[in-house]
Amino acid sequence: MAGGSPIDSLVKGPGVVSPRPASGPVGRAGRDSAGLAAAAARAARAAAGTLSARGQTRVDGPADPARGESPPGEDMSDPHGPPEPIDPLLEWYDRTAMAVAARAAGLPPDAGTNPPEASRIWAIAWLAALRALRDARRGRAATAAVIAAVHGVLVTLVPATARDLDAARDISLARLKRRRAIARGVAAGKLAAADALAERSDDGPHPAHWRPYLIASAAHVAPEPPPGPEHPGYARDLAEVRALGGAQSTVRDARQTEIAEFWAQPSLSAYTPAARAALAGLQAPIAERVELVALLHVVTLDAQIAGYASGEQHPRWRPGRALGGPSRAAWTSLVAPDLGEPEYPCLHTTYAGAAEIVLTALAGHPRTPLPLMSPTAPGVVRQYTDWRQLTAEIVDAGVWGGVHLRTSAEAGASLGRRVAFRCLTRWSRQAA
C-alpha cells in the first residue's frame, strides 16, 4: 500500500475504494470531519470533570428466554401484529459478541480471558465491515457486505462457531432478497475480511508489541513514569488502598463494595451491552453506525496496546504484593487482581477512558438512563446517563477493590482519553 498514509491504509484496505463518508447529525455530534474532531476535543475536555454515578438497575446481556428475551435474529414481536423488522447491524453485533464469548469459553481454565485478543477480534471484524460497506456503497449490497465481512472474520478467528455463523449468514442474506445486490455485497465483504485478516496476521503473542491501528506508536502517547516508593504520593496511595481495598476493610462502605465488585468484570463485558445500546439508539445511515462499532474497538485496542507497552516500561508491584508478604501483616484485596496485567497504568481505566471519548463523540451521551449489570456482582444493577460516569466508577473500583493504586487508575483513564482523541483526530483528517 505504498503512497498512502497509515489512515488511508486503515480506511481503504488493499484494493478498496473509499468514497466520502456520509454526513449528518448523530446524537450530539455532527459527523462531518470538523465536527468529529471538535466532538472528540469537547469530550476530552469534559473528561476533566468526572461525575459520580448513582442508582442501580441492570442491562441486557446474552438473551435469556426465561425473561422473554430473544436471541439475535429471532423475531419476538406480537404474533397478532406486524413483525418488527430485524436490524442486521444489531444482529451481527450480537453474533460477534457470542463468537467472542464462545472463544473465551473454549480456552483452558488457566489461559485467562485475554481482553486484548477479544478486542482484536471485534476490531478486525468491524473494520472489515466498514471497508466492505464503503466498497459496496449503498442499498442491500451494503448490508450484505457488512454481514459477509463480519462473518468472514469470525469464522476464521473463532472456527468453532463456523456452523452457527454460516446458518445465521444464510438467514440474514435471505431477508435481503435482491440476488444481484447480495452477490455484489458478499464479494466486497469477503475481500474486506481477507484483507483485514492479512493485515493483522503478524500480531505476536503479547499485545505490548502489536502494531497500533491509528496512533503512530505507543511511545507517542506514553504516560509519565509513576511516582517511586520514596514519593509522598506513593505512600498516600498505598495508605488509601490498604484502608479501603482490603477484603476485611472496616472503613469501606456498602456502596463502595458494590462498585468494586461490579467493576471486577472485564471491560469488554460491560462495554459490549453499553455500546449496543448506543448503536441501537443511533438514528443514522448504515455507514455511520458501522463506523461507531469499528472505531470503538480500533481505538480501545490501540489504548490497550499503549497500556501494555507502558506497563513493560514501568513495572510496579500490585497493591497485594506491596502490602502483603511474609514480612508484613496479612493483607488481601477485596477483588482478586489479574496478575497478567500491569499495575501502571491500569488497563481497565485505560479502556474506559478511550471508550468514553469515542462513545461521546460518535453517539452522544445516553438519552435515557443506561442500565448495566455485571457477572461479578450477580443481582446488582446500575444505571448511567453520561459515559464519564463509567470511567469515574472504574477508577474508584480499582482502589476500593484493592487491585490498583489511585495514581495508576487515573493514569490509565488519562492515557485512554489521550489515545482516543489522537485516533479520532487522525481519522477525521483522513475523511476530510
Residue 1 maps to a domain:
no
pLDDT tens, position by position, 205-214: 899 999 999 9
Tell me: pLDDT of 352 over 90: yes
In a domain, 2, yes or no: no
- Residue 88 — pLDDT band, cuts 50, 70, 90? very high
Angle at CA 215, nearest 5°, toward 208 and 118?
Answer: 50
Percent of the chain's residues with pLDDT above 90: 68
| Grid cell 487515573 in the structure block, residue | 410
Task: Tell me, yes or no, whether 75 lies in a domain.
Answer: no
Count of domains in the chain? 1
Asked whether residue 7 is assigned to any structural domain, the reply reads no
Q: What's residue 283's pLDDT?
A: 93
- pLDDT tier at 44 (50, 70, 90 boundaries)? low
Q: Domain of 205: which CATH number?
A: 1.10.606.20
Position 275 in a domain: yes
- What angle, 0 to 180 degrees and rounded to 10, lies between the N-to-C axes of helices 88-105 and 162-176? 180
- In the 8-state DSSP scheme, what is residue 159? G
Residue 77 covered by a domain: no
* Residue 8 is assigned to a structural domain of this protein: no
Could you tell me the pLDDT band of residue 63, with boundaries at 50, 70 and 90?
very low
pLDDT by residue (tens digit) across 94-146?
999 999 999 888 766 555 447 899 999 999 999 999 999 988 977 889 999 99
Q: How many CB atoms lie within 10 A of CB 138?
A: 14
| Res 53: pLDDT | 34
Q: Say if 290 falls within a structural domain.
A: yes
Q: Residue 82: what pLDDT?
A: 60
d(C-alpha 345, C-alpha 309), whole Å: 10
pLDDT at 138: 73
In angstroms, the CA 107 to CA 64 distance is 23
The grid coordinates listed for 98 are 457470542
| pLDDT over 70 at 65, yes or no | no
Domain region containing 205: 18-69+84-431
Residues 355, 359, 362, 363, Cα dihedral to 10°: 170
On average, the pLDDT of the chain sits at: 83
The b-or-e profile of 270-282 (16+ CB within 10 A means b, else e) is: bbbbbbbbbbeeb
84: pLDDT strictly greater than 80: no
Q: What is the mean predicted confidence (pLDDT) over 355-364?
A: 97
CA distance 177 to 374: 39
Lowest mean pLDDT segment, chosen from 192-196, 232-236, 388-392: 232-236
Please tell me whether the overall predicted TM-score, pTM, comes out greater than 0.75 for this model.
yes
Per-residue pLDDT at 115: 83
Please determine, for residue 375, whether its predicted confidence score (pLDDT) is greater than 70.
yes
Task: Report the pLDDT value the prediction gives residue 13, as an integer from 0 to 100.
Answer: 45
Residue range 379-407: average pLDDT? 97
Find out whether 361 and 40 touch, Cβ atoms under 8 Å: yes
Q: What angle do CA 37, 385, 77 make, to 5 degrees?
A: 100
| Coil, strand or helix at 371 | strand
pLDDT for the residue 37: 65
**Please, are residues 237 and 406 in contact by the beta-carbon 8 Å criterion?**
yes
Contact between 148 and 170 (Cβ < 8 Å) = no
